[in-house]
Chains A and B, each alone.
Chain A
Amino acid sequence: MGDWVQSLIDGGMVPAAIPAWVHYLTAALVFGGVIVFGFVLPIAGITTWVERRIVGRIQSRIGPNRVGPAGFLQWLADGLKSMLKEDIVPTAADGPLFRFAPYVVMTGFVGTFAALPFTSALIVADLNVGILYVTSVTALVVVGILMAGWASNNKWSLLGGIRSAAQIVSYEIPAGLSIFPIVLLTGSLSMQDIIRSQGAGPFSWYLFANPFTFVAFFVFFVSALAEGNRTPFDLPEAESELVAGFATEYSGMRSVLFFMAEWGNLYVIGAIVTTLFLGGWQIPFAFENRIVQHVLEFATFFLKSYGVGVLVPIWLRWTLPRIRVDQMMTMCWKYLVPIAFVNLLGTAAWMLWVAPWVQMLVRVTLLGATFAGILMFLRRVVYHLEYAKLGRRHLSFNPLGTARSPG
């Protein structure tokens, strides 16, 4: 973006009398605005609709289906309603902090989009410390949540805030440690470099690079879920224990900002996972037409990150119950952290001492094992359908043509 502004200034496209920093600031604001209103907010909003539809189906319901086709415009209706709601600040609350907290959370979340590589060219800033920047700017969310919990002057909110702080600070460690193996393999912290050093096909993804990165993927995914306060780690807002945790006292648009950050964070998780482990925007073919190339790259990146970061966590959320605080801590410190350390050392050892042909063999094995795992999983799904003795008329989609019984 900087080069582009510089070229505008050099080319006399903008008044030269105004100092250059004004142009940079304007460009940054316009670009940020376009990204926030054109991409981030719709993604977060549409995700709420997607989640409610999927949950409906998991619970044999329909989900929102009245506003627009299949209820698609539900998120706009919800947003409009929230904007018209009264913005209440409790008299006992710390006013300025209370009002400021949602913005901090939102900043922490939107800030990550500055370094997300949507295509080979579409990236706001290809920082040389990209992945480090993303992890640290996400940590800003905890400050906002703690601020909200404290400023609400409410025991539930404070407990939620404290839990969130404990949770995010703890899970930063396995998340960070699971990024290191990838950084070792790439030799760079830049998001684009990480993607470029992978390939288009699953074979050359870092997910299958060695057994340690394979495990690191899951460790990172779990830690990222915990950092994003998603079920089964939604302790900070555990509605059965803490009403709504740090968001208890918030109403109207401020409350929506928290939830927008939560749902938007899902996409960010997916984008980071896609960048690190799933080959990012890499597509197998190069096209003459740069537009086609970038559209395809964008679609690849978007589908991967939306599937991994949004659909799978939603699915998990409605499968698993919330874990207890002590279980959350046990999982982090006794399981994820040691495993993440082993991954880091293992990857280093792998790069140093393992012969290339062994590496190749292990790649193939891992890929095969993953496919076998997916097949086994599908077999279990079909088993559960058969066990329920469902007829064709009970199914909207018949996997593998099985589960036949006279309906």
Chain B
Amino acid sequence: MGLGNYLRTIKEAVQTIGEGMAVTASHMVRKPVTLEYPDRLPDDVRVQDTLPFRYRGMLEVDLEICTACLACERACPIDCIVIDAEKDKAAGGLVMTRFDIDMAKCMYCGLCSEPCPTGAIHHTPEFEGADYSLESLVRRFVKAPTIAYRPKKAGETDPQIKPILDRGLRYIAEFAKGGES
């Protein structure tokens, strides 16, 4: 090791340490990004609203656009989704009598929302799921027998369902693409 090399090592040590300290010093004058959940949040901030669109919180089902295809029930690796649907000519299609998700079992893997054709079953940013009993963690979405949604060839026109479907399709697109949220 020549003297030039020796001195260069010292110079580099001093320079890089100085540069590193400049970086950390620049961080010291920045405001912390911490949100003091749950008790010291700013008045206008809900933590759920700050989470990304694809955040995997509690599952939710938009019954308005659910086709009762049972894809989610089959996809669920731990069988926490139970759907009962029967054909009913009189009502005009599939009639759902039960759509239960046991959130106590759910492991938030997101496999159910991937095969969903309309994006009816999706995760929400809601994560405050604590409860006093396991039973109350079972979320029952069908309150009364409901006719399943049938996609229309020409696209959805009903102004009540259109925004829900659009949101569902966006959810599928982003989930499948895995792009930025």
Residues of A in contact with B (beta carbons under 8 Å apart): 54, 56-62, 315-316, 318-320, 335, 377, 380-385, 388, 390, 393-399
Contact = CB atoms under 8 A, between A and B. Distances in A.
Given A315-B21, A319-B21, A320-B20, A395 B27 contact: no
Contacts of A316: 17, 21
Contact of B30 (A54, A320, A382, A396): A396
A387 to B, nearest CB: 9
29 contacts: A56-B32, A57-B28, A57-B32, A58-B24, A58-B27, A58-B28, A59-B27, A60-B27, A60-B30, A62-B32, A62-B34, A315-B24, A315-B25, A316-B17, A319-B21, A335-B10, A377-B21, A377-B22, A380-B19, A381-B25, A381-B29, A382-B26, A384-B22, A384-B26, A385-B26, A388-B26, A395-B31, A396-B30, A398-B29
A54 B22 contact: no
Given A319-B17, A319-B23, A384-B22, A61 B34 contact: yes
A195 B2 CA distance: 39
Contacts of B33: 60-61
B26 to A, nearest CB: 4
Nearest to B23: A384
B32 A385 contact: no
Given A320-B17, A380-B18, A381-B26, 9 more contacts: A57-B32, A61-B33, A315-B21, A318-B24, A335-B10, A380-B22, A384-B22, A385-B26, A385-B29
B148 to A, nearest CB: 48
A314 to B, nearest CB: 10
The winner among A57, A382, A394 for most chain B CB atoms within 10 A is A57
A380 B23 CA distance: 8
B36 interface: yes
A393 B24 contact: no
A315 B27 CA distance: 11
B32 A319 contact: no
A126 to B, nearest CB: 36
A388 B26 CA distance: 10
Contacts of A56: 32
B20 to A, nearest CB: 5
A241 to B, nearest CB: 22
A383 B26 CA distance: 9
Contacts of A61: 32-34
Contacts of A335: 9-10
Nearest to B1: A334
Interface residues on chain B, size class = 20 to 34
Given A62-B36, A320-B17, A394 B22 contact: no
A381 B29 CA distance: 10
Nearest to B36: A62
Nearest to A65: B36
B28 A390 contact: no
A319 B10 contact: no
B29 A397 contact: yes
B18 A399 contact: no
A319 B29 contact: no
A185 B70 CA distance: 88
Contact of A394 (B9, B19, B28, B31): B31
Contacts of B22: 377, 380-381, 383-384
B17 to A, nearest CB: 7
A382 B18 CA distance: 14
B31 A393 contact: yes
A394 B26 CA distance: 12
Contacts of A382: 26
Contacts of A62: 32, 34, 36
Contacts of A399: 29
A167 to B, nearest CB: 18
Contacts of A388: 26
A396 to B, nearest CB: 5
A62 B26 CA distance: 16
Nearest to B28: A57
Q: Which 5 A-B pairs have the closest CB atoms?
A: A380-B22, A384-B26, A319-B20, A319-B24, A397-B29
Contacts of B27: 57-60
Contacts of B36: 62
Contacts of B17: 316, 319-320
A399 B28 CA distance: 11
B174 to A, nearest CB: 26
B24 A395 contact: no
A319 B34 CA distance: 20
A362 to B, nearest CB: 20
Contacts of B25: 315, 377, 381
